[in-house]
């Protein structure tokens, strides 16, 4: 055989092998596409990877069939040492009469050899010395304790039980510090419907001596019925739901002193339906800082209160905006110096960091047409704040540092990707967990100043043997020239001479970004599933979505659903220009705000899409909650034309094509009445709308039932687009 024949034979073999390998690739089942990334197709990670309290050691847990252990590692040498294991934990628990564990629980570290966890309604503190594990503290909780908050310096514990607030301090018996708790008077929980970055209602002071807590009076808020269909007859639970433009709840902030056993309330004044946000203790515990935001959400006062008397000490500064001011982060004190803190603000149009010294602004630390995402911590020696941001691209999140004295900024990330990072207590070492379109997951531990680093995990591609879709990043432009980021997901076995049905998936509401540099790059294996079944998928973040700055997000103010639709229609224009997209077979799907957008597109721009699926949709913004709606729409009384333009009940008669509306029957976010009124209107107008309800599910359908949901949605598109 001559040389040419050998080369030809080799090529035939390679082509045949590649074709055979491609032919052997699998299609996703619906269950794999929907829940696979949380199950059999999950990307490998290191469970409970974290810095061990104030130490420079990191820890992780192995919980599998052959090993259930806690490991501790010194990053100076990266040698893992076993800290404890399940057998050792269970032996110690058994001596205390605590029920045995079946796996290593979720651990919170205090030091490199001290941690605590919750099990069997008990908070268990453990210390490991040598090869011995001792339970050093065990606090019993009532079965209904929720929420709980632990001060890690003293292990003082606060919790809510039977609607009232209790505090365990100094290892004494729990003291009940409130007595009037009820469904109307709520203590110690997140308030203001979890807006403004609020995710808790209990705030321990730095030393653990004082506890600040929210008190919410919602007795004046209207009751709203949520039906439980599990019993015969069905039962009704009434929840408090503050509708836009109507009566809202009233919040105050209490402070409990564990030594004097006394409580004072901050004198935050009136009007009582204002918002109390960004609650922050000063390092010396003399003061509490609170952002007061008026109900119109366009005027903020940063106030300092005396933690011992509740008196207003000083208003440090104010922020105003013709649209809205949206505080999202507490103050950050880099050190124990009570006279130096960092404030997050969008005052220049992007979320940036501002340094305050002795109550005066000492300068803007970060600036530019990008946003700061998280503060990771502070390095004392370098006098540097470590943070993540979208500086390189809104699709990415990388790690940076900025010096407090010179404002000099540098990038630590060497891989442009989406980084989720943890900084050690000293600010020297970083656990860097990142993903990109090519990297399922990689985890590095690195010294930010010596550049020493070690890759401690490289995850394999769990979908390598599946037909995954070609995903192309698409950059379009809004009518004002703003760049809009999107993704086009191609059908498997794409043939440019054919025409394909196409589905637009959207959300396009505040604080949500769908397109990121992550794995899988499509963003959702259901998109790949649909690509395997002959669909194009298109996903774009139009104006109004997050991570692009205040101007990008707030352009929709007082007209939710108008500018966003203009941008999505730019996406449609792009799709229609592609010769392989069948413009007569286009569908649209979205949930929540995306459900509102989907329905709006079908009714305000009829004929663009042949069919649509709208899940949990807002149909009338006057029926949505005060905090969110009044920020973006003002009240119905202030903006009647804006509400009228975007209400959907009176536009049912415009429907062309097929529309499936889906709602969770126990939805306390977008209440069921939205879609029920819409269906009633469709009956009145003689318009055929398809409808499906998921009993027992709240605002979305989770768990195994989500497979049923996505199969229903897929079937609907198959019937109407194929």
Whether residue 9 is contained in a domain is answered as no
Residue 68 has pLDDT above 90, yes or no: yes
Stated as kind and residue range, the H or E segment containing 47 is: strand 47-51
- Pick from 266, 298, 331: which residue ends a domain? 331
Owning domain of residue 590: 471-721
Helix H, strand E, coil C: the string for 233-277 is: CCEEEEEECCECCCCCCEEEEEEEECCCCEEEECCCCCCCCCEEE
107 and 163 part of one domain: no
Active site residues: 592, 667, 699
Domain-terminating residue out of 331, 366, 399: 331
The number of domains in the chain is 3
| Residue ending a domain, choose from 83, 115, 137 | 137
422 belongs to a structural domain:
no
CA pair distance 31, 52, nearest whole angstrom: 37
Within a domain: residue 45?
A: no
**pLDDT at res. 7:** 38
Separation of CA 416 from chain center: 22
In a domain, residue 226? The reply is yes
Q: What is the pLDDT of residues 128-176, one digit of tens each?
A: 999 999 999 999 999 999 999 999 999 999 999 999 999 999 878 899 9
Residue 19 lies in a domain: no
Classify residue 384: in a domain, yes or no.
no
Tokens encoding 429: 């070492």
* Pairwise CA distance, residues 296 & 278, whole Å: 17
Count of positions (residues) in the chain: 722
Whether the Cβ atoms of residue 452 and residue 446 lie closer than 8 Å to each other: yes
Asked if 68 and 199 sit in the same domain, the reply is: no
Residues 308 and 221 in one domain: yes
Write out pLDDT tens, residues 210-233. Answer: 999 999 999 999 999 999 998 999
Which pLDDT score, from 0 to 100, does residue 23 have?
55
Selected residue with higher pLDDT from 10 and 94:
94
Mean pLDDT score, 466-472:
97
Instruction: Output the pLDDT for position 301.
Output: 98
Q: For residues 233 and 169, state if they share a domain.
A: yes
Claim to verify: residue 180 and residue 308 sit in the same structural domain: yes
pLDDT digits (tens, 9 = 90+) for 675-721: 999 999 999 999 999 999 999 999 999 999 999 999 999 999 999 99
Statement: residue 15 has pLDDT above 50: no
In the chain, the percentage of residues whose pLDDT exceeds 70 is 97
Residue 19 has pLDDT above 60, yes or no: no
538: part of which helix (H) or strand (E)? strand 536-541
Within this chain, do residues 292 and 155 fall inside the same structural domain, yes or no?
yes
111 and 179 both lie in a single domain: no
Which 3 state secondary structure label does DSSP give 563?
helix
Q: What value does the mean pLDDT take over residues 569-588?
A: 98
Chain-centre distance for alpha carbon 303: 28
The predicted structure's pLDDT at residue 382? 94
Say what the pLDDT of residue 480 is: 94
Average the pLDDT over 550-563 and give the result: 97
Same-domain check for residues 204 and 106: no
Asked, for residue 379, whether it belongs to a domain, the answer is no
pLDDT of residue 1: 47
* Summary mean pLDDT of the chain: 95
List of E strands, 287-427? 287-293, 299-306, 312-320, 340-345, 352-357, 360-364, 372-379, 384-389, 398-403, 409-411, 418-423
Q: Are residues 125 and 206 in the same domain?
A: no
pLDDT-derived band at 624, boundaries 50, 70, 90: very high
pLDDT (average), residues 540-558: 98
| 209 and 265 assigned to the same domain | yes
- The answer to whether position 20 is within a domain reads no
Name the CA dihedral angle for 419, 55, 78, 389, rounded to a multiple of 10 degrees. 10
The CATH code of the domain that includes 205 is 2.140.10.30
Residue 209 and residue 74 share a domain: no
> 649 and 535 in one domain?
yes
Region 423-448: what's the mean pLDDT? 97
Span 275-303, average pLDDT: 98
Q: 479-496: per-residue pLDDT in tens?
A: 999 999 999 999 999 999
């Amino acid at each position: 055989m001559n040389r040419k024949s050998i080369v030809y034979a080799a090529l035939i073999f390679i082509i045949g092998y590649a074709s055979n390998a491609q032919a052997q690739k699998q299609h996703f089942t619906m269950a794999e596409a929907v829940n696979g990334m949380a199950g059999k197709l999950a990307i490998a990670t290191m469970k409970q990877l974290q810095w061990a309290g104030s130490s420079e050691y990191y820890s992780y847990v192995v919980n599998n069939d052959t090993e259930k252990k806690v490991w501790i590692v010194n990053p100076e040498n990266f040698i893992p040492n076993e800290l404890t294991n399940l057998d050792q934990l269970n032996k110690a628990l058994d001596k205390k009469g605590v029920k045995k564990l079946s796996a290593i629980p979720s651990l919170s570290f205090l030091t490199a050899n001290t941690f605590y966890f919750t099990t069997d309604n008990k908070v268990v503190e453990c210390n490991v010395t040598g090869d011995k594990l001792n339970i050093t503290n065990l606090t019993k909780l009532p079965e209904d304790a929720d929420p709980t908050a632990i001060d890690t310096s003293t292990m003082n514990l606060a919790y809510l039980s039977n609607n009232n607030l209790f505090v365990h301090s100094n290892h004494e018996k729990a003291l009940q510090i409130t007595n009037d708790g009820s469904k109307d008077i709520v203590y110690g929980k997140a308030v203001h419907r979890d807006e403004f970055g609020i995710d808790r209602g209990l705030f321990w002071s730095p030393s653990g001596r004082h506890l600040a807590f929210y008190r919410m009076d919602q007795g004046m808020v209207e009751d709203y019925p949520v039906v439980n269909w599990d019993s015969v007859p069905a039962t009704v639970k009434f929840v408090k739901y503050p509708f836009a433009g109507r009566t809202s709840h009233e919040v105050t902030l209490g402070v409990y002193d564990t030594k004097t056993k006394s409580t004072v309330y901050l004198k935050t004044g009136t009007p009582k339906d204002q918002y109390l946000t960004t609650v922050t203790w000063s390092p010396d515990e003399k003061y509490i800082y609170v952002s007061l935001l008026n109900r119109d959400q366009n005027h903020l006062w940063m106030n300092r209160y005396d933690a011992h008397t509740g008196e207003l000490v000083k208003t440090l500064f104010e922020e105003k905006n013709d649209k809205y001011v949206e505080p999202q982060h507490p103050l950050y004190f880099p050190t124990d110096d009570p006279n130096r803190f960092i404030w997050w603000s969008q005052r220049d149009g992007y979320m940036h960091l501002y340094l305050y010294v002795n109550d005066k602004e000492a300068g803007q630390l970060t600036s530019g047409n990008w946003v700061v995402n998280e503060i990771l911590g502070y390095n004392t020696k370098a006098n540097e704040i470590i943070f993540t941001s979208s500086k390189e691209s809104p699709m990415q999140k990388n790690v940076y540092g900025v010096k407090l004295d010179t404002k000099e900024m540098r990038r630590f990330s060497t891989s442009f990707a989406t980084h989720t990072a943890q900084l050690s207590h000293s600010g020297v070492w970083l656990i860097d967990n990142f993903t990109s379109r090519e990297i399922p997951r990689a985890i590095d531990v690195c010294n930010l100043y010596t550049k020493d680093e070690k890759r401690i995990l490289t995850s394999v591609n769990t979908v390598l043997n599946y037909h995954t879709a070609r995903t192309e990043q698409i950059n379009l432009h809004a009518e004002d020239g703003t760049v809009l980021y999107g993704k086009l997901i191609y059908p498997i076995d794409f043939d440019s001479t054919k025409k394909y049905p196409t589905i637009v998936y959207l959300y396009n509401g505040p604080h949500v970004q769908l397109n990121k540099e992550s794995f899988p790059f499509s963003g959702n294996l259901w998109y790949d599933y649909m690509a395997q079944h002959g669909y194009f998928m298109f996903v774009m973040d139009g104006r109004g979505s997050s991570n692009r700055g205040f101007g990008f997000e707030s352009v929709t103010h007082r007209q939710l659903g108008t500018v966003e639709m203009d941008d999505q229609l730019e996406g449609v224009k792009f799709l229609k220009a592609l010769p392989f997209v069948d413009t007569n077979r286009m569908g649209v799907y979205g949930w929540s705000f995306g459900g509102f957008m989907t329905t709006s597109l079908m009714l305000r721009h009829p004929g663009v899409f042949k069919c649509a699926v709208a899940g949990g949709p807002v149909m009338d913004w006057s029926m949505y909650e005060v905090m969110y709606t009044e920020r973006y729409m003002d009240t119905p009384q202030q903006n009647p034309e804006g509400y009228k333009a975007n209400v959907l009940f009176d536009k049912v008669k415009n429907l062309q094509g097929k529309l499936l509306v889906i709602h969770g029957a126990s939805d306390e976010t977008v209440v069921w009445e939205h879609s029920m009124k819409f269906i009633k209107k469709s009956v009145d107008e003689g318009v055929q709308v398809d409808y499906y309800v998921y009993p027992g599910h709240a605002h979305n359908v989770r768990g195994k039932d989500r497979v049923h949901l996505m199969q229903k949605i897929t079937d609907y598109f198959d019937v109407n687009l194929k």
